[in-house]
Structure 1
Amino acid sequence: MIKYLRMMAMISILVITAGCQMGQSTSASDAMAANAEMDREAKAALQSLYTKTPQARALAQRAKGILVFPDVLKAGLIAGAHHGEGELIENGKVTGYYATTAASYGLQAGVQRFGYVMFFMTYSAMNDLKNVNGFEVGVGPNIVVVDSGMAKSMTTSTAQSDVYAFIFNQKGLMAGLGLQGSKITRLNR
């Protein structure tokens, strides 16, 4: 039984990895089309977040940068992984493309899609993202994951952390959802 569960976990991780690799393009025109599609998805994701959580829009107005991952896939059975691609927006302009990846092990089963947005409130937090090869969530700047209850009581005067993260648009069934241990890397496009 343990061998079967391990094999299923490895298959889950391989499926996610293969799906991520298939989306990589090689020509300049393919990269431009992928970037344009990512821009549309990121704008739609931000609009969805702002509609459901108006406090996020208030944070966005003060943020030094906004990192948007509109579609992240998480799957697992004992061992799991998540992966997604997104973009960094500074002063209303896209300044880079990033990938988020994590692996986990423990009591988990299922498949889920979700989006998340990180609001970088300080320049030092932005520098950590831009200058570190493989920014790790949970290491470095203080990151607060905002749930719907916390968002209702948050104001721009009570927002004192370096980074705020909002998880939204969850679809599917997966026990447990968090960003701890996620690694964010810059994509060369």
Structure 2
Amino acid sequence: GVTVDYYSTTKASAGLQIGAQQYAHVLFFMTDDALMNFRRSPGWAASANIEYATPERGETLAAETTTSLSPVIAVVFGQSGLRVGATLDGVKYSRIIP
């Protein structure tokens, strides 16, 4: 029921895309094992998505290895910008140490 850690993400993508987008996301670990596996992993995840963002709203239809292979729920919020695309992505999660 509390925030455990903060992470930064670095993302690379390839596919058909145009524009710029900014967003935030949070991961909810539904079991202790899911959290421990994430903490012990090297932090790499792969995904595929179709997305758009306008100044008024944004939507993403995506599948990511972090959430598809374990009991983890990802929530994306605060999307802004002007972008449309269909991509394959790689993400690196890095723990921020205070």
Aligned pairs (5 A) from 1:4-43: none
Higher relative contact order, chain-length normalized (CA < 8 Å, sep 6+): 2
Partner of 2:37: 128
Match of 2:13 among 79, 97, 104: 104
**One-letter identity of the residue aligned with 1:116:** H
> What is the aligned partner in structure 2 of residue 183 from structure 1?
92
4+ residue runs over 6 A deviation: none
More strand by share: 2
Whether the aligned pair in 1 keeps the contact of 2:8 and 2:93 (CA below 8 Å) is yes
TM-score, with normalisation over the residues of structure 2?
A: 0.63
Match of 1:165 in 2: 74
Alignment of 1:113 onto 2:11: no
Unaligned runs of 5+ in 2: 47-63
Return the TM-score normalized by structure 1. Answer: 0.36
Query: Given that residues 135 and 185 in structure 1 are in contact (C-alpha distance below 8 angstroms), is that contact kept between their aligned partners in structure 2?
Result: no
Q: Deviations over 1:111-130 (max 9, x none)?
A: 11111121111111101111
Aligned-partner residue type, residue 124 of structure 1: D
- Cα contact 2:23–2:78 (8 A) shared by 1: yes
**Percentage of identical aligned residues:** 38
Count of paired positions: 80
Per the alignment, in what secondary structure is the counterpart of residue 5 of structure 2?
Answer: strand
